Amino acid sequence: MLVVGAGVAGLVAAIELHRAGRAVVVLEAAPEVGGRVRTTVRDGFTLDHGFQVLFTAYPVLNEYLDHGALKLHPFQPAARIVRDDRGTALVGDALNDLSLLLPSLTGGALPLPDLLRMLRLRQFAKGLTIDECFAARYAAVSTRDFLAARGFSARTINGFFAPFYGGILLDRTLTTRASVLLFTFKMLAEGKTAVPEGGMGAITAQMAALLPAEVIRCNTRVRALNLENGRAAGVTLDDGTVLQAQDVVLATDLVTAHALTESVGAQLHEPRQVLGCTTLYYRAQTALLPGRALWLNARRDATVSHAITLTEVVAAYAPPGQHLIAATVLGEAATHDDALLDAAVRKDLSRMAPGTNAAAHDALATIAIWRVPLSQYAQPVLANNAGAAASARTPVQGLWRASETAHSSSLDGAARGGQLAARELLNTSGAR
């Protein structure tokens, strides 16, 4: 059996197949495993491939992780909101961190009635099962409309939910289906938000270690799918090598998956719209944005969506005595050229932390500009087929799809997609 792609979905599929005693080979085009969940160390700085976090409550992904070995470092369950008036206000989950109660009540980030609505929403989401979060009634309504129906003011929707969930969903319009909001709210309520001490790439490295080393072949790009009598029969690599297999699991990104299947006259019933982002990493002598809470830029003219001094969460992300700042940009601004984007982000950072002296801003040194054009797939409302059962089957017999599109654009969604593909394949091959 061949698995094409060694991201979270592909690794989970391979692990499941290996545990079932099946011979499996994973083909990965990149020099290392991980897909989007990778980390590069540059000059002593730990740089994730775009700002990412782990929700420790993810139920399916956790089946393949050892949290203790990852040495997770939690963020504060809060956000510091930067407003148009240049002021900032802290708002957080006081049920997870009691110290956040007073700042949330007195900081002015949200009106008191909306703070109470936030508490009720937290309890509501926590009380749902994950399947209930994705039920048709929530998949068929946008996040913005769902929040308005629950009575949240425009000030809170635009000033908190748009920057906070815009950062998670990579879309500040809040047109994403409400199911994703509820799922995320549930994960936030039931666990922590954290990063491994060795970077997010430690997650996929740990997963890959569950497989024999010879199973994974990196620097191995698949050029084409091969069919025999209309059935998947293997793949052809970039160098012309043909690998035969009775079953092929396609665990690549959306663009690659569509291209490979369409090359054999088939079509995946998956989204085509993808969302990207760009994260700029800076070296600094001071913690320009202090604290372990994410800084949200709620200004109407914002370029930076959210930012944080990562070394406030994990000191090991930078050499001793230095700090690492990550600032993420969404939408069209994320596609601007490096020089223009860097200048705009620096300007935003100076406005987000106006109390810091000018010398600290001038001393910022750009380490990397990390562009992730295929960060997520768009998750708009599902008016017609909401609640349809997910399947890993494709129009080509013997070709299976392992993808987050089976559930949600998240690490847990990717794990679910990989698990679904492996288990459907095993059930079908066992019946042959």
Tens digits of per-residue pLDDT, 20-61?
Answer: 999 999 999 999 999 999 999 999 999 999 999 999 999 999
User: Please, which residues have CB within 8 angstroms of residue 240's CB and are 6 or more apart in sequence?
Assistant: none
d(C-alpha 134, C-alpha 178), whole Å: 8
Same domain, 168 and 221: no
What's the pLDDT at 377? 92
Q: Which CATH number goes with the domain that contains 370?
A: 3.90.660.20
Q: Give me Rg for the CA atoms of the chain.
A: 22
Any domain includes 359:
yes
> CB of 234 within 8 A of CB of 244?
yes
Asked whether the predicted pLDDT for residue 386 surpasses 60, the reply is no
Q: Answer whether residue 387 shows pLDDT above 60.
A: no
Q: 117 and 187: one domain?
A: yes
Does 96 fall in a domain?
no
- Establish if 382 belongs to a structural domain: no
Lowest mean pLDDT among 86-100, 143-157, 193-207: 86-100
pLDDT at position 50: 94
Residue 103 inside a domain? The answer is no
In this prediction, residue 356 has a pLDDT band, given cuts at 50, 70 and 90, of low
- Lowest-pLDDT range, 88-102, 241-255, 411-425? 88-102
Kindly report, residue by residue over 168-224, the tens digit of the pLDDT. 888 889 999 999 999 999 999 999 999 999 999 999 999 999 999 999 999 999 999
Confidence at residue 389, expressed as pLDDT on a 0 to 100 scale: 74
Instruction: Please state, in angstroms and rounded to a whole number, the distance separating the CA atoms of residues 208 and 10.
Output: 10
Tell me, yes or no, whether 352 and 308 share the same domain.
Answer: yes
Same domain membership, residue 372 and residue 279: yes
Q: Are 366 and 342 in contact (CB under 8 A)?
A: yes
The count of other CB atoms within 10 Å of the CB of residue 239 is 8
**Shared-domain flag, residues 82 and 131:** no
Q: What is the pLDDT of residue 159?
A: 87
Domain end residue (candidates: 335, 353, 377): 377
Determine the average pLDDT of the residues in 300-329.
Answer: 96
Q: What angle do CA 253, 254, 257 make, to 5 degrees?
A: 85
Residues spanned by the domain of 328: 39-59+68-91+274-377
Nearest to 84 by CA among 416, 431, 351: 351
| Confidence class for position 361, pLDDT limits 50, 70, 90 | low
pLDDT digit string (tens) for 242-255?
Answer: 999 999 999 999 99
Same domain, 139 and 173: yes
For the chain, percent of residues with pLDDT exceeding 90: 84
Q: Is the pLDDT of residue 14 over 80?
A: yes
What's the domain count of the chain? 3
Specify the higher pLDDT residue, 386 or 355: 355
pLDDT value for 353: 82
The CATH number of whichever domain residue 213 belongs to comes to: 3.50.50.60
243 falls within a domain: yes
Residue 267 sits in the same domain as residue 400: yes
Is pLDDT of 297 > 80?
A: yes
- Rounded-to-integer distance, Cα 124 and Cα 128, Å: 7
Q: Taking 70 as the threshold, does the pLDDT of residue 385 lie above it?
A: no
pLDDT confidence of residue 248: 98
Statement to judge: residues 74 and 215 lie in one domain: no
Q: Is 127 exposed, middle or buried (0-12, 13-18, 19+ CB in 10 A)?
A: exposed
Length of the chain: 432
Are residues 158 and 219 located together in one domain of the fold? Answer: no
The answer to the question of residue 322 being in a domain is: yes
Verify that 393 and 268 share a domain, yes or no. Answer: yes
Say whether both 257 and 400 belong to one domain: yes
pLDDT above 60: residue 430:
yes
Average model confidence (pLDDT) across the chain? 93
Say yes or no to pLDDT of 432 above 70: no
Confidence of residue 280 (pLDDT cuts 50, 70, 90): very high
Model-level pTM?
Answer: 0.94
Q: Which pLDDT belongs to residue 253?
A: 95
101 within 8 A of 318, measured Cβ to Cβ: no
**Contacts (Cβ under 8 Å, ≥6 apart) of 414:** 7, 8, 9, 12, 61, 403, 404
What's the mean pLDDT in 72-95?
A: 89
Q: Which long-range contacts (CB under 8 A, 24 or more apart) does 253-258 make?
A: 253/5, 253/7, 253/35, 253/36, 253/374, 254/374, 254/377, 254/403, 254/405, 255/374, 256/5, 257/401, 257/403
pLDDT of residue 403: 96
**Is 98 a domain residue?**
no
- Please give the average per-residue pLDDT across 270-298, as a whole number: 93
Residue 172 contacts residue 163 (beta carbons within 8 Å): yes
Most distant CA pair in the chain: distance in Å?
A: 70
At how many degrees (to 10) do helices 112-127 and 178-190 cross?
90
Residues 177 and 132 in one domain: yes
Domain for residue 105, yes or no?
A: no
Domain boundary among 165, 191, 217: 191
**Percentage of residues in the chain with pLDDT exceeding 70?**
96
